[in-house]
Amino acid sequence: MVSIETSSQHYQSSPMAKYAGTRTRPVICFSDVVLFLGGAFMSLILVWSFFSFSSISPNLTVKTDGSSSSSTKCYHGIDTNHDPTDPVYYDDSDLSYTIEKPVKNWDEKRRRWFNLHPSFIPGAENRTVMVTGSQSSPCKNPIGDHLLLRFFKNKVDYCRIHGHDIFYSNALLHPKMNSYWAKLPAVKAAMIAHPEAEWIWWVDSDALFTDMDFSPPWRRYKDHNLVVHGWPGVIYNDRSWTALNAGVFLIRNCQWSMELIDTWTGMGPVSPEYAKWGQIQRSIFKDKLFPESDDQTALIYLLYKHREEYYPKIYLEGDYYFEGYWLEIVPGLANVTERYLEMEREDATLRRRHAEKVSERYAAFREKRFLKGERGGKGSKRRPFVTHFTGCQPCSGDHNKMYDGDTCWNGMIKAINFADNQVMRKYGFVHSDLGKTSPLQHVPFDYPDEPW
């Protein structure tokens, strides 16, 4: 493991550490007392600094007690105006943001950046930047741009509530890396642009958060560098190209991930053997529907052919809807709403009006009171975490022929409003009908115990 050290100190952390600032003290006339108090104060500061920084990652870490599993919040001690002139990787003309040129010694480069920006160390353990995007031109589907705007609002809402930054890309960062391959150049660029982030969270434009309270179980992923929704048996036994879904993933900001992106990209359109890779993929994964090499099957191929190298560091999350198929989720949203309202009828704590900034306190209460030990997949009492409208193509409108467009668009509106209710409730309003976006209904004081 690599440790972050600044000058002569090696920092450890409590995950909830915050910058204390300076305090004014009354003037004491007796010099020996002043010296004693000053010495005591400096000793306390040294002790505090020793215990005030969090673990960052298996690749770039300091010691920690491992007690934190929560997402990173806004730390008051971060100094965004501090950027020393000491050279870092940004000053290296050989380092490139592009997908074609590999980045070497990335863990060491991040470590040096942290050493020069120590205010970013507290809370770095699970600090996350979400990355998403869409096409650069207007949608062909008449309601496509409206739908994508609402999908993006949903992600912004989730990030605001949980303290994540978000980056939206609506332009190709490489002319050949289009369609589903466009995510990899964006993810790599985000890793370089955000050395302070431990995780980059890619979320497709047609995926939305339908549980605004839930946070990924970060502690579960502490020894892994990539988290994706999938099932080992479907990879190694069934050999299916749907064994995982690459539309939503968490990737650690480390050298291992940089190298994975290089290898992954090598099966994409920038490769001179792009056509050959499509043939190889279809020869192994017989249910693959189209001849071109795609990012999802490429990742499955790496897991299948190089299991010893990749499987230990890739977490295939199947215990909850890290991303879930919309046709499996949308029909049950009304029942989910009723289950959560019943929890609120049973315990007045959940009915209490509160500021959006303290929402996680109530989410934690609900978790302990009603949802502890409850898995989040099909049939669960939990809300589905992420609902993914795979096959719907809201922008182009070229949806899968197995269902009609209205089924897609109506399902999207219903899921978006379901998620939006969890946000707008803090503002005093809800969508009383999930099929209608506007107007919203004002929420009575003791709702849902008090009727409309």
- Assigned token pair, 194: 């955000």
Q: What is the pLDDT at residue 2? A: 41
Given phi > 0 = left and psi -120 to 50 = alpha, else beta, which region is 239?
Answer: left
User: Is the Cβ–Cβ distance between 191 and 252 less than 8 Å?
Assistant: no
What is the C-alpha separation between 310 and 80, in angstroms, rounded? 36
For residue 196, CA distances in Å to 120, 133, 444 come to 6, 21, 43
Distinct helix (H) and strand (E) counts, the chain:
13, 13
Q: What is the pLDDT at residue 61? A: 54
User: Is the Cβ–Cβ distance between 428 and 363 less than 8 Å?
Assistant: no
- Residue 267 has, within 13 A of its CA and on its CB side, a CA count of 22
3-state secondary structure of 321: coil
- Using the structure block, give the residue that is written with the tokens 């353990």: 125
What is the pairing mode between strands 441-442 and 244-252? unpaired
CA quadruple 195, 196, 198, 200: dihedral sign? negative
What is the C-alpha separation between 189 and 175, in angstroms, rounded? 15
Q: What is the pLDDT at residue 402? A: 87
3-state secondary structure of 371: helix
- Assigned token pair, 87: 């050279």
Domains by residue range for the chain, with CATH: 89-317 (3.90.550), 326-435 (no CATH)
Pick from 331, 150, 130, 336: nearest CA to 215 = 130
- Residue 8 has, within 13 A of its CA and on its CB side, a CA count of 1
Q: Would you write out the chain's pLDDT as a tens digit for each of its 452 residues?
A: 344 443 333 333 333 333 333 333 333 444 454 444 555 554 444 434 433 444 456 566 544 333 344 444 444 589 999 999 999 999 999 999 999 999 999 999 999 999 999 999 999 999 999 999 998 899 999 999 999 999 999 999 999 999 999 999 999 999 999 999 999 999 999 999 999 999 999 999 999 999 999 999 999 999 999 999 999 999 999 999 999 999 999 999 999 999 999 999 999 999 999 999 999 999 999 999 999 999 999 999 999 999 999 999 999 999 999 999 999 999 999 999 999 999 999 999 999 999 999 999 999 999 999 999 888 888 899 999 999 999 999 999 999 888 888 999 999 999 999 999 999 999 999 999 999 999 999 999 999 988 77
